[in-house]
């Protein structure tokens, strides 16, 4: 059986390459049909903010790549409720619909359900 | 405590200037000296800058690019650099330098450029994935 | 199934530790490397979560980082060399490095 990988994405989308390179790893895993999950944590939840305008910074739209996740078979998507609330993000307005919102108490279990974990 | 030999994948995501890169090398050396196996060393993000011996350091400082290259050569390790991360940071081999019309190929012979699939493949076969990023 | 969390940044300038503590499971371990060992400087008033970890024997630090920074608190934390660090990675089911 294939080993599962949880990628934890903690960086805001336009603060460098962290968010982008985390997502690239997830998409590559999806392309190989591997069981791969993605958790948005801390400032990583800002990737889920709708209607961002990265072209103002001459950046490519990471949000568009997020939309590709289900197409690559990556359906285990999670975000931490504490971080959404703390950062003023409404759960109904997230850029990605299929994200499951987790309480802090469920995060340890999420990690421990996976064979390997990588944080960005 | 003694543990049965395990297969490790070591992912380095920090630049050679970060203490995390030196920590990764020391960890990798200990993995082997403790009788375990390294399936693959994979460089991603700023970690790709560990795959060159071009930087010139003061003689009394640890040259991590050289140290990695020697370690890999000595133990004949499988050492892969993420090509997408490397291209954007100027870590090219001869083929990529020619393809993109760049003047210099800087990748050390110890390393190979390849895709992120190589990290996933190694993770599938490994008992442990240990990554070193940040500081 | 337990996870070893690896921290490397100073708790005084970075939220790494705070964030890690809220997703630490009952059987998980915490290893301090680099500037993360500075948290030991606030001993014995360590965060209550760290005291709990230390009491369980699940709080570790990389010895060379402690020595270099003069952050050696005997009895608070288990100081490890690289060989012991490797063994610790074998002891836990997976390793999560915070960046």
Q: What is the pLDDT of residue C46?
A: 74
- CATH number of residue B31's parent domain: 3.40.1260.10
Q: Which of A43, B131, B2 is nearest to C6 (CA)?
A: B131
Question: In the predicted model, what is the mean pLDDT of residues A6-29?
Answer: 96
- Which among C19, C96, C99 has CB closest to A111? C96
Distance CA C20, CA C27 (A): 14
Distance CA C7, CA B126 (A): 22
Q: What is the pLDDT of residue A63?
A: 80
Q: What is the pLDDT of residue C72?
A: 87
Residues 6 or more apart from B36 whose CB is under 8 A from it? B5, B6, B7, B8, C86, C90
Question: In the predicted model, what is the mean pLDDT of residues C46-75?
Answer: 92
Distance CA C37, CA C6 (A): 11
Hey, where are the domains in chain C? 3-97
* Two structure tokens written together for B66: 């050289």
Q: What is the pLDDT of residue B1?
A: 63
pLDDT above 70 for C35 = yes
Work out the mean pLDDT of chain B and round it to a whole number: 97
pLDDT above 80 for B21 = yes
What are the phi and psi torsion angles at A83 (to 5°)? -70, -40
Does domain C3-97 match CATH 3.40.1260.10?
yes
Is B12 inside a domain boundary?
Answer: yes
- Active centre residues of B (catalytic): 82
Is B1 inside a domain boundary?
Answer: no
Range of the domain at A114: 5-119
Instruction: Please tell me the distance in Å from C52's CA to the nearest CA on chain B.
Output: 23
pLDDT above 70 for B135 = yes
Beta carbon pairs, A and C, within 8 Å: 46
**Are B6 and C95 an interchain contact pair (Cβ–Cβ within 8 Å)?**
no
C80 three-class SS: strand
Question: In the predicted model, what is the mean pLDDT of residues A54-74?
Answer: 91
C-alpha neighbours within 13 Å on the C-beta side of residue B100: 14
What are the phi and psi torsion angles at B14 (to 5°)? -105, 155
Cβ-Cβ contacts under 8 Å, C99 against chain A: 10, 18, 119-120
Is B2 inside a domain boundary?
Answer: no
Question: In the predicted model, what is the mean pLDDT of residues A108-119?
Answer: 98
Could you please report the per-residue DSSP string of C33-65?
-GGGGGGGGGTTS--HHHHHHHHHT-EEEEHHH
pLDDT band at residue B18 under the 50/70/90 scheme: very high
**Are C86 and B36 an interchain contact pair (Cβ–Cβ within 8 Å)?**
yes
| Number of domains chain B is built from | 1
pLDDT above 90 for B13 = yes
* pLDDT digits 0-9 by tens, B32-80: 999 999 999 999 999 999 999 999 999 999 999 999 999 999 999 999 9
Q: Which of A84, A94, A11, A110 is nearest to A51 (CA)?
A: A94
Is B74 inside a domain boundary?
Answer: yes
- The percent of chain A in helix, strand and coil, each rounded to the nearest 5, is 45, 20, 40
Contact status, residue B86 vs residue B113, Cβ threshold 8 Å: yes
Work out the mean pLDDT of chain C and round it to a whole number: 93
Interface test mutation site (partner C, options A3, A111, A113, A115, max chain C beta carbons within 10 A):
A111
Does residue C44 have a cis bond before it (omega within 30 degrees)?
A: yes
Work out the mean pLDDT of chain A and round it to a whole number: 95
User: What burial class does residue B88 get, using C-beta atoms within 10 Å of its C-beta: 0-12 exposed, 13-18 middle, 19+ buried?
Assistant: exposed
pLDDT band at residue C43 under the 50/70/90 scheme: low
pLDDT above 90 for C74 = no
- CATH number of residue A12's parent domain: 3.40.1260.10
Question: In the predicted model, what is the mean pLDDT of residues C57-72?
Answer: 96
* pLDDT digits 0-9 by tens, A79-99: 999 999 999 999 999 999 899
Distance CA B70, CA B77 (A): 10
Q: Which of C15, C19, C99, C64 is nearest to B20 (CA)?
A: C99
Q: Which residues of C fall below an 8 Å CB-CB distance to B?
A: 6, 8-9, 33-35, 62, 81-83, 85-87, 89-91, 94-95, 97-99
Cβ-Cβ contacts under 8 Å, C9 against chain B: 134-135
The ipTM of this complex is: 0.95
Beta bridge partners of B112: B80
Q: What is the pLDDT of residue B118?
A: 98
| Number of domains chain A is built from | 1
Residue with tokens 């008992």: B127
Instruction: Please tell me the distance in Å from B102's CA to the nearest CA on chain C.
Output: 32
Range of the domain at B39: 7-132
């Amino acid at each position: 059986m294939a080993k599962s990988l949880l990628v934890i994405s903690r960086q805001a989308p336009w603060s460098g390459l962290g968010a982008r390179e985390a997502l690239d790893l997830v998409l590559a895993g999806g392309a190989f049909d591997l069981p791969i999950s993605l958790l948005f944590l801390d400032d990583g939840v800002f990737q889920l903010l709708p209607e961002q305008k990265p072209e103002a910074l001459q950046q490519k739209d990471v949000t568009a790549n997020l939309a590709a996740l289900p197409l690559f078979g990556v359906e285990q998507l999670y975000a931490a409720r504490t971080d959404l609330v703390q950062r003023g993000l409404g759960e109904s307005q997230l850029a990605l619909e299929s994200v499951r919102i987790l309480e802090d108490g469920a995060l340890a279990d999420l990690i421990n359900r996976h064979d390997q974990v990588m944080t960005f | 405590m003694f543990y049965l030999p395990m297969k490790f994948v070591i992912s380095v995501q920090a630049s050679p200037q970060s203490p995390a890169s030196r920590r990764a090398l020391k960890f990798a050396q200990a993995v082997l000296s403790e009788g375990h196996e390294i399936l693959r060393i994979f460089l991603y993000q700023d970690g790709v800058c560990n795959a060159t011996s071009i930087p010139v350091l003061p003689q009394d400082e640890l040259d991590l690019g050289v140290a990695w290259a020697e370690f890999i050569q000595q133990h004949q390790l499988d050492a892969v650099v993420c090509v997408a991360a490397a291209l954007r940071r100027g870590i090219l081999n001869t083929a990529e330098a020619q393809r993109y019309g760049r003047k210099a190929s800087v990748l050390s012979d110890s390393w190979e450029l390849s895709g992120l699939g190589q990290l996933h493949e190694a993770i599938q076969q490994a008992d442990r994935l240990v990554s070193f990023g940040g500081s | 199934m337990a996870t070893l969390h690896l921290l490397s940044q100073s708790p005084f300038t970075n939220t790494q530790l705070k964030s890690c503590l809220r997703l630490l499971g009952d059987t998980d371990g915490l290893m301090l490397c680099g500037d993360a060992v500075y948290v030991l400087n606030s001993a014995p008033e360590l965060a209550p979560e760290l005291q709990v970890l230390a009491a369980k024997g699940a709080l570790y630090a990389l010895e060379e980082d402690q020595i270099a920074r003069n952050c050696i608190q005997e009895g608070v934390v288990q100081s490890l060399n690289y060989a012991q660090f490797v063994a610790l990675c074998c002891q836990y089911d997976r390793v999560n490095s915070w960046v």
